[in-house]
Amino acid sequence: MKMSDIPFGLTDWSAIEKTEHAGETGMAYWRTQNFGGIRVRMVEYTPGYLADHWCSKGHILLCLEGELHTELANGEKFVLTPGISYQVADNAEPHRSFTETGARLFIVD
């Protein structure tokens, strides 16, 4: 990832409007900022959220609150708790996430 033409700035995430994204079950609420070709999001998953698709987009994802379960298409499973992150390249391993209790994440992609 090359970051260029992004001036220094602050983001007050509470001032960014939420958008709703339904999962197979539950909801995801995104607060999104775009900096050139880089998307940065603060995402909240409601308890019981299950993604409605297998994602092939690359991400760097940090769990801030709650617990997030991520499953790869090959069957491997991972659990993220606050302070744990994962990273995956575009088109590397299809993945999907779910949470029983809800989670808040910081995502760069």
Contacts 24+ apart (CB under 8 A), 38-42: 38/1, 38/3, 38/6, 38/108, 38/109, 39/107, 39/108, 39/109, 40/11, 40/106, 40/107, 40/108, 41/105, 41/106, 41/107, 41/108, 41/109, 42/13, 42/16, 42/104, 42/105, 42/106, 42/107
For each of the domains in the chain, give its residue range(s) and CATH number, in order of start. Answer: 38-108 (2.60.120.10)
Chunked mean pLDDT (size 10), the chain, 109 residues: 84 97 98 93 98 94 98 96 96 95 97
Q: What is the tens place of the pLDDT at every residue in 13-35? A: 999 999 999 999 999 999 999 99
Whole-angstrom CA distances from 80 to 8, 61, 97 are 30, 10, 10
pTM of the model as a whole: 0.91
3-state secondary structure of 93: coil
